[in-house]
């Protein structure tokens, strides 16, 4: 059976500053590096290992992925371009606190995050679902079974989850928070509601 584990990167400098990063390529903070080490330690303590690890090309994901592979002593992560975060369009670099002012009423409010839907130049969530299907298809073409780890981002990660479980993207946005260095499991024998493997409440940035 093929099991796809999906991790979000540790906190980067944009996360810490309340800046919408999208495809900005900022480094992890000290906390973000600690989050990545904690994720690696939790994976190791759970006796999980991976047949392959794929990462977004952005450094916040790649460094998180490499922290895991180094801790497990397995092959380094391979870049999968389709794992890159959503293109935020004109919202790239804006402050998260300004989302409602700039994008309302075209927003969805979740418990922690306000999601903007279609500002100029941004990928839409249906776009991300389609890209998520491509990610899942690419993994399945390369691997018939085993454990695969994908390391990526918040918005894109949620839409990979939506694509895998054939869920409505709007529902998924408000269903759960996908925090820094948290881990999801996508598997035929793991229902959607049981996807979270590791949740670090103190790391939800």
Catalytic residue ranges:
9, 85
Q: Crossing angle, helix 59-72 and helix 30-45, to 10 degrees?
A: 40
| CB half-sphere exposure, 107, CA atoms < 13 A | 17
Task: Fill in the DSSP letter of residue 50.
Answer: -
Whether 124 contacts 108, CB under 8 Å: no
Task: Fill in the DSSP letter of residue 103.
Answer: H
Q: Identify which of 32, 40, 57 has the alpha carbon closest to the alpha carbon of residue 5.
A: 40
Q: Identify which of 193, 83, 199 has the alpha carbon closest to the alpha carbon of residue 148.
A: 83
Tokens of 100: 């409602």
Question: Helix, strand, or coil here: 31?
Answer: helix
Among the residues of 49-92, which ranges form H helices? 59-72
Radius of gyration of the chain (CA): 16
Question: Helix, strand, or coil here: 27?
Answer: coil
Element (H, E) at 132: helix 125-142
């Amino acid at each position: 059976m093929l099991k796809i584990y999906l991790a979000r990167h540790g906190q980067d400098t944009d996360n810490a500053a309340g800046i919408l990063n999208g495809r900005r390529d900022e480094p992890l903070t000290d906390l973000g590096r600690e989050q990545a080490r904690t994720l690696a330690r939790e994976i190791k303590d759970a006796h999980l290992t991976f047949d392959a690890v794929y990462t977004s090309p952005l450094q916040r994901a790649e460094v998180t992925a490499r922290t895991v592979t180094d801790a497990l002593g397995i092959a380094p992560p391979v870049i999968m371009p389709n794992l890159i975060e959503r293109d935020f369009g004109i919202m790239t670099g804006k402050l998260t606190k300004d989302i409602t002012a700039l994008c309302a009423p075209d927003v969805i409010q979740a418990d922690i995050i306000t999601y903007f839907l279609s500002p100029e130049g941004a990928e839409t969530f249906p776009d991300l679902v389609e890209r998520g299907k491509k990610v899942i298809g690419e993994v399945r073409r390369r691997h018939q079974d085993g454990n695969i780890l994908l390391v990526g981002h918040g918005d894109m990660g949620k839409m990979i989850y939506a694509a895998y479980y054939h869920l409505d993207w709007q529902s998924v946005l408000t269903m759960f928070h996908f925090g820094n260095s948290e881990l999801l499991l996508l598997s035929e024998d793991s229902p959607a509601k049981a996807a979270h493997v590791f949740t670090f409440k103190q790391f939800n940035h």
